[in-house]
Structure 1
Amino acid sequence: MSKAYLSLGSNREPEQHLRAAIAALREQFGTIVLSEVYRTRAVGFDGGDFLNAAAIVDTALDPFALNAWLHALEDAHGRDRSGPRFGDRTLDIDIVLFDDLVLHGDGHPGSSPGQALQIPRDELKHAFVLRPLAEIAPDVVVPGTARTLAQLWAAHADRATPMESVEL
């Protein structure tokens, strides 16, 4: 079994979509570790606030199969991939870390271009991804950095900026 560290977000009916996504993760993977849910401003575009969280799942899926499963879950919640890269989302779930694996956008044989993965995800630089992950996995070392999630969060420029915790 592998550990996958996921970032979850939504800014369209976010409570509904995140609740449903968390239920689907539990149904598929059993017990999950879930962070607090935080309200954050949209990054990279002018849009409504997001609700963001992080989860850790134990999985027998490889990262490509997990990514395909997560994309299907997003699609089931009306995720529209036809617009700009940064935009409103009903549901966005990314694999940020997967064990100590490092992938540089590599696909695998038979994969479509949309299945190329980068792990660790570049989005780890954003507070809305890093803080929830550091909360639930502070001692996890991020491959290629020799630093833990807690160390990265302690050094983050937005560390002192309050984030509102939201109940689902």
Structure 2
Amino acid sequence: MAQIYISVGSNIERERYIQAGIDAMAAIFGPLTLSSVFESEAVGFNGTAFYNLVVGAQTELSAQQVALHLKAIEVDNGRKPNSRKFSPRTLDLDLLLYDDLITDDGVQLPRDEIPHNAFVLWPLAELAPELVHPVLGQSYASLWQAYDKSSQTLCKIPFIWNTSLRKN
């Protein structure tokens, strides 16, 4: 079983699509571990704030199969398959890590944005603080501690989950 981490984001009907994404991933991967939910400003474009979190799961699927499932969940939840990179999203699901796999074959792992975006790094550091980035050789807690927190506005928010498939 591979340990995977997935970033989740939405800035359109945020509660609805975050919940729908979690439910769909739980149906595929089984029990999930969830970080706190964070509200963050849109990065790369002017838009409404996002809700973001990181999900941990275990799977026997390949990294490419996981990525295909995530894209299907996005499309099932109203995301246009060829939408612009910096634009509003009903649901954005990105495979961040697949064990310590390093690849660019069909899916980029580890995902390049991990050390650059607070909305990815903080929830990942919360969920897997001692896990070491396979390229940078530093724990996610260390990367978050060194991160310039003035570069992106981010805050934890209360979120009421409507699923019984959540582990913690």
- Establish whether TM, by shorter chain, passes 0.5: yes
Give the Cα–Cα distance (whole angstroms) in 2 for the partners of residues 159 and 31 of structure 1. 34
Of 14-23 and 74-83, the range deviating more from structure 2? 74-83
Indicate the SS of the match to 1:28.
helix
Which residue type is aligned with residue 49 of structure 2? D
Q: Residue 48 of structure 1 corresponds to which residue in structure 2?
A: 48
2:110 paired with 1:120: yes
Deviation at 1:82, TM superposition (A): 3.2
> Contact 2:119–2:154 (CA<8 Å) still a contact in 1?
no
Deviation at 1:122, TM superposition (A): 1.4
Deviation at 1:166, TM superposition (A): 3.2
Q: More strand by proportion, 1 or 2?
A: 1
**Across the two proteins, how many residue pairs are aligned to each other?**
158
**Which of 125, 150, 168 does residue 134 from structure 1 map onto?**
125
Q: TM-score, normalized by length of structure 1?
A: 0.89
Give the Cα–Cα distance (whole angstroms) in 1 for the partners of residues 9 and 86 of structure 2. 13
Q: Which runs of 5+ in 2 are unaligned?
A: 161-168
> Contact 2:32–2:57 (CA<8 Å) still a contact in 1?
yes
Q: TM-score, normalized by length of structure 2?
A: 0.89
Q: Residue 111 of structure 1 corresponds to which residue in structure 2?
A: none
Indicate the SS of the match to 1:43.
coil
Aligned-residue CA RMSD (Å): 1.5
> Contact 1:42–1:50 (CA<8 Å) still a contact in 2?
yes
Which residue type is aligned with residue 107 of structure 2? L
Identical-residue share of aligned pairs (%): 40
Deviation at 1:162, TM superposition (A): 5.3
Deviation at 1:167, TM superposition (A): 1.2
2:164 paired with 1:151: no
Pairing 1:1-168 to 2, within 5 Å after superposition: 1-103=1-103, 105-106=104-105, 116-124=106-114, 125-158=116-149, 163-168=155-160
Q: Which runs of 4+ in 1 moved over 6 A?
A: none
> Contact 1:8–1:18 (CA<8 Å) still a contact in 2?
yes
> Contact 1:40–1:164 (CA<8 Å) still a contact in 2?
no
1:115-158 deviation digits (Å, cap 9, x = unpaired): x2111111112000000010010011111111011010000001
